[in-house]
Structure 1
Amino acid sequence: MEKLRHGPDDLTCRSERVGFYSDGVWCAATLHQPADDSGEAKPAILMVHGWGGIQNALTVPFYEEFTRAGYLVMTFDYRGWGDSAGLPRQAISVRQRMRDADAALAFLKAHPAVDPARIVVWGSSLGGGHAVELAADHPELAGVIAQVPMLDGTAAVRAVPLRRLLRFAFYSLVDLIKPGHPVYIPVVSEPGAFSSMDRDSAQMALQLAERSLGRKYDNRVAARSLMTMGPYRPFRRLKDIRVPTLLLGATNDTVAPFVEAAIRKVNNHHVLVQTVEANHFEPYFEPFFSEVISKELAFLESLR
């Protein structure tokens, strides 16, 4: 696989660090503006990261292409992750993350450079599940893109080998009952090593993320976070969506299996289902990136 198409040293967009508060906790964010800024209010895209995602980790080529298409793009770090405040560090609660995403959306809507009637939410992996929820909760959105979305936590849990699942349960229990600092496990690892994700080119994604970040990634997640996955089933919200929504699934995904049959059974005409023959992380790499971004840009063009 080839490296990412764009890196931090060859961007054409202009980036500005900003921030907002979610439940009183400061969250770091960045606005990426098109290079040829006309000064008029622009359509905007809110990028919602996945399980261990932080700003600029694998998202650079996506927001570069979106700004080339004329969109202002906002990335942000969830509380307790990346450059955001919040304790405990590196812990995941899907309900808390949804509140952070809602706060990020409110901040973007209020920005003077943004046309609030033309905001699209883009989410990937676990963030793709959040994007589906945002689509259901915010009928005022112009559109939603959910890339390799985690739509069914039960299916994701079933894809984990039993021995690994039992180890997850043990670490999660110890983390919950242990006083003081969380018990951490690696977010990703090489195949066969212990982590929350060791499949679907996860280790290669880590290497490319660090190349994009220009620093080491804090590769740990509180073990208690694993307990949030099984009950999380945002595909149940598909019936409530009333805005144009692209679900772009990977047919070989074993991290967040794409439950295409359950999706199509909903039969919501607002939801466009497309697939790529890739695993969970391959859409971030060439040659899959070009296919994925072409589908997403075509969807964005259809919203104009």
Structure 2
Amino acid sequence: MARRDIEFDAEGVTLRGWFYSAEGAASPAPTVVMAHGYSAVKEMYLDSYAETFAASGLNALVYDNRNFGASDGEPRQEIDPWAQVRDYRHAITYAGTLPEVDENRIGVWGSSYSGGHVLVVAAIDRRVKAVVSQVPLVSGHANFRALVRADFIDGFRAQFDADRLARFEGKAPAMVPVVDKDPLAPSALPTPDSHAWFTETHRLRAPSWRNEVTLRSVEMLTEYEPVAYLPYISPTPLLMLPARNDVLTPTELAIAAYEQAREPKRLRILPGGHFDAYVDGFEQSSVPARDWFLEHLAS
């Protein structure tokens, strides 16, 4: 499988990743642009998806989000969803300059947080000709309230306000763990399956992943509403892949959001929980995505 390192400019920030060349396809070929979710780096199974796409005749362009992994950007470990949305668009622009890429046949794939990003990108960027949104975050407001006990929310707000004042006074942004073994301890993703997947995948595949994000990354999540863009994706074909027992980006939120999208669209519910899509349920998540892109980009 032909893979090479790439880097490209995102209006002053260098983003780095991999380009997988489509096997057995004439150049220029259709291409899938891909980035990972909340704090994750590309080694956390994005290579597996890209290999599946490339083996079927699709180029795959994979990159680390700004401030994470191999990509530049400051402050490190900060997740600004709107900056990540714009970076998808920078990646699409870069892809279109490559001789292997047919700029008129580009799709976007995202999972979890980036599953929300691709909904926004597909709605606002008509260069996107197909979109796959896997186990997506669709509403930061609703998701925050699904994960955080109601009597803890005021405490979070007080932390956000204190951090804002500290930054105003010139101090560094406060940091918070991405995951914690104790789901009631302060963390960005307070579910037991989040802790298990991130710590295990960090150990096995992704030594560059760090278990911290800026506190304001969590605040920005609460402000982010990809669901508002779902009606505007059409006529770009949308495949949404929620998980049956997702407790991190709750299943019912994703399915309710899907109902707001217009045709052409398809819903396929994956087995298991949020993180099963990457490992035990990889075939069930990757094959429908591959087939969706082949259907709408390769013809």
- TM-score, normalising length: structure 2: 0.89
Distance 1:256 1:214 in 2: 23
Secondary structure, counterpart of 2:199 in structure 1: helix
| Residue 277 (structure 1) aligned with residue 264 (structure 2) | no
Counterpart code for 2:175: Y
| Residue 298 (structure 1) aligned with residue 291 (structure 2) | yes
- Conservation of the 8 A alpha-carbon contact between 2:35 and 2:109: yes
> Structure 2 regions of 5+ residues with no counterpart?
none
Q: Compute the displacement of 1:46 (Å).
A: 0.4
Q: Compute the displacement of 1:200 (Å).
A: 5.5
The 1:82/1:267 distance shift into structure 2, 3 A limit, reads: closer
Q: Compute the displacement of 1:206 (Å).
A: 1.4
Q: Which residue of 2 aligns with 1:125?
A: 112
Secondary structure, counterpart of 1:229 in structure 2: helix
Q: Compute the displacement of 1:196 (Å).
A: 0.9
- Conservation of the 8 A alpha-carbon contact between 1:50 and 1:127: yes
The 1:53/1:164 distance shift into structure 2, 3 A limit, reads: farther
Secondary structure, counterpart of 1:61 in structure 2: helix
Bigger Cα displacement from structure 2, 156-165 vs 99-108? 156-165
Q: Deviations over 1:263-288 (max 9, x none)?
A: 354251122122123222121121x2
Counterpart code for 1:69: S
> Structure 1 regions of 5+ residues with no counterpart?
1-12
The 1:214/1:153 distance shift into structure 2, 3 A limit, reads: closer
- Conservation of the 8 A alpha-carbon contact between 1:155 and 1:257: no
Q: Which residue of 191, 197, 205 maps to 1:213?
A: 205
Q: Which residue of 2 aligns with 1:9?
A: none
Q: Compute the displacement of 1:29 (Å).
A: 2.4
- Conservation of the 8 A alpha-carbon contact between 2:113 and 2:136: yes
Q: Compute the displacement of 1:37 (Å).
A: 5.7
Q: Which residue of 2 aligns with 1:5?
A: none
Moved over 6 A (4+): none
Q: Compute the displacement of 1:244 (Å).
A: 0.8
Q: Which residue of 240, 253, 257 maps to 2:246?
A: 253
Q: Compute the displacement of 1:132 (Å).
A: 0.5
Secondary structure, counterpart of 1:151 in structure 2: coil
Q: Compute the displacement of 1:44 (Å).
A: 0.8
Q: Compute the displacement of 1:261 (Å).
A: 5.2
Q: Which residue of 1 aligns with 2:6?
A: 18
Q: Compute the displacement of 1:291 (Å).
A: 1.3
Structure-to-structure mapping, 1:33-48, within 5 angstroms: 33-34=21-22, 36=23, 40-48=27-35
Q: Deviations over 1:31-72 (max 9, x none)?
A: 1224x4666211111002211122212322211111111111
Q: Which residue of 174, 179, 191 maps to 1:183?
A: 174
- TM-score, normalising length: structure 1: 0.87
| Residue 223 (structure 1) aligned with residue 246 (structure 2) | no
- Conservation of the 8 A alpha-carbon contact between 2:41 and 2:209: no
Distance 1:244 1:98 in 2: 19
Q: Which residue of 2 aligns with 1:85?
A: 72
Q: Compute the displacement of 1:148 (Å).
A: 0.5
Q: Which residue of 76, 80, 101 maps to 2:63?
A: 76
Identical-pair percentage: 26
Bigger Cα displacement from structure 2, 169-178 vs 49-58? 169-178
Q: Which residue of 187, 193, 197 maps to 1:195?
A: 187
| Residue 56 (structure 1) aligned with residue 43 (structure 2) | yes
- Counting matched residue pairs gives 290
